[in-house]
Amino acid sequence: MSVSILTAIANIVVNPIHELQSIYSSRNRANIMGEALENYIKDAFSGILASNTFLKQQSIEQARLEAYERAFSYQGNQNNPPDVIIRGGDAIEVKKIESAGSSLALNSSYPKAKLFANSPMITAACRSCEDWNEKDIIYTVGVVNGSNLSRLFFVYGVDYAATADVYERIRAVISSGVESIPDVEFAATNELARVNKVDPLGITYLRIRGMWGIKNPAKVFSYVYSPTKARFEFAAIINTEKYYSFPLAHRDNLEKLIGENFTISDVKIKHPTTRQF
């Protein structure tokens, strides 16, 4: 079976993991809990999480690398979005927060409804990993308390973030305002602005960066999502068009899991640009 958000959800429902550190602490790169969360998300999407090998033996690095290679065309870096691209499918951005009320820090990159190949924020390796122009992007947000994952939320960018022109307009207004300051030498940059030759010797420069953030999806969708006091809780928002674009086998496999601990509901959400339901 190919890889999609539906297969990842099924893997998480069948094999939920609460204690990230106990599973990933033996891996060198998982010393930081943010990396442990990212590895967990990759395992869920690649199918490693559902494998018998994973359940019997946690030290399966070779099998994990092979599964990642099959599932993903791009595995990201620390400084540029996205964190992962599913081969022939969606992009994935992993975000760790430490409390259920925390917002997401996006730094210099505003939230994305979709990921575009011509974006100046992505790397050349990301741009050339496949023949693509745009991709849907999944925000995967985990609440990690100490070494434990207490809440996980999946949401597509098109259901979460406004269209790019909304953010670009604000960015352009700020940049234009800064660059209108007289007697200052500005240079071309992908940031809000860069000022050269600040000092008399002309050796100091000033970078003016945007620090973007967005409320976490549990807060944004509080009108359709009510958290419980469960030890581990998972929720996902997938618009109807996207849901039915996945293979029937993926949908059937997920819907077979509906029961006391897992439900699928049809709800209406607000459009992130028009604010209409």
> Is it the case that residue 52 has pLDDT exceeding 70?
no
Helix axes 5-14, 248-255, angle to 10 degrees: 20
| Higher pLDDT, residue 161 or 193 | 161
In three-state secondary structure terms, 112 is coil
Round the average pLDDT of the chain to a whole number and report it: 88
Residue 1 has what pLDDT? Answer: 55
Residue 167: C-alpha distances to residues 117, 164, 213 (Å): 18, 5, 12
Residue 268 has what pLDDT? Answer: 95
Closest by CA position to 155, among listed 61, 239, 211: 239
Tokens of 119: 């974006």
Closest by CA position to 108, among listed 29, 42, 189: 189
Q: Is residue 261, in this structure, part of any structural domain at all?
A: no
8 A C-beta contact, residue 45 and residue 12: no
| Domain span at 158 | 5-162+213-255
Q: Is residue 88, in this structure, part of any structural domain at all?
A: yes
Instruction: Give the pTM.
Output: 0.90
Q: Is residue 154, in this structure, part of any structural domain at all?
A: yes
Residue 28 has what pLDDT? Answer: 45
Dihedral angle sign, alpha carbons of residues 86, 88, 89, 95: positive
Q: Is residue 44, in this structure, part of any structural domain at all?
A: yes
Q: Is residue 137, in this structure, part of any structural domain at all?
A: yes
Query: How many residues are there in the chain?
Result: 277
Tell me the pLDDT tens digit for each residue of 200-245.
Answer: 888 998 888 888 999 999 999 999 998 888 889 999 999 999 999 9
Residue 33 has what pLDDT? Answer: 80
Query: Using CA atoms, how far apart are residues 18 and 5, in angstroms rounded to an integer?
Result: 19
Q: Is residue 168, in this structure, part of any structural domain at all?
A: no
Q: Is residue 269, in this structure, part of any structural domain at all?
A: no
Q: Is residue 172, in this structure, part of any structural domain at all?
A: no
Q: What is the 3-state secondary structure (H, E, C) of 112-142?
A: CCEEECCCCCCCHHHHCCCCCCEEEEEEEEE
Dihedral angle sign, alpha carbons of residues 274, 127, 237, 107: negative
Closest by CA position to 160, among listed 232, 103, 117, 209: 103
Strand partners, 84: 92
Percentages helix, strand, coil for the chain, rounded to the nearest 5?
A: 30, 20, 45
Residue 29 has what pLDDT? Answer: 43
Counted domains in the chain: 1
DSSP state of 28: G
> Is it the case that residue 30 has pLDDT exceeding 50?
no
